[in-house]
Amino acid sequence: MEIKIPIYNILNMFLTGLVFIGGCVIIFPETAIAVMNSEFIESMGTGPEIVVTVCTFAIAYEVGLIINRAGSVILEEFLKCTKLVPFNDDYVLFNQKKKEYPIMNTLSREYALSRTGIVLFLFLLILSVSNGKWPFAVVFALITGIYFLSCRKHAGKIVELMQGR
């Protein structure tokens, strides 16, 4: 049995996790330096660096996956309930319209990426605020807003195509 994992999924989860880890390093530089200078890391030598690198990539992927799922399960439900984003839950109609409008696949993927971006930068915003890193908080708030507008735009186009406009 051959298992195919789309490169989109790998990159989406992996890059999201790496951006989150990078954001945490920026927000908590003292902790990052302390970890890198710890006796454990220094005592490992050069051989285990490969293991640490592979583990870091695995952690980045899992963090990205968690952020992606939080966007799907929590954020999307919030956006639907508050009607901040137009939404049509008719999956059968969506699949029919996908045949008529191939752009639906791209719009759907862009919507999901935007939703994941909202959660990612919202988490970084919360971490920044909780640690008094106000300049980072402002930047993360602006990026979250941009992703929200993108999410809203793509969802609107999907709903519009589903209604046949």
Q: Mind listing the pLDDT tens digit of every residue in the chain (165 residues)?
A: 666 667 777 778 999 999 999 999 999 999 878 877 777 666 666 666 777 788 888 999 999 999 999 999 999 999 999 999 998 888 898 888 888 888 998 899 999 999 999 999 999 999 999 999 999 999 999 999 999 999 999 999 999 998 876
What's the pLDDT score for residue 41?
66
Alpha helices (H) in the chain, listed in sequence order: 7-27, 29-36, 39-43, 49-70, 76-82, 91-100, 103-130, 134-162
pTM for the model stands at 0.87
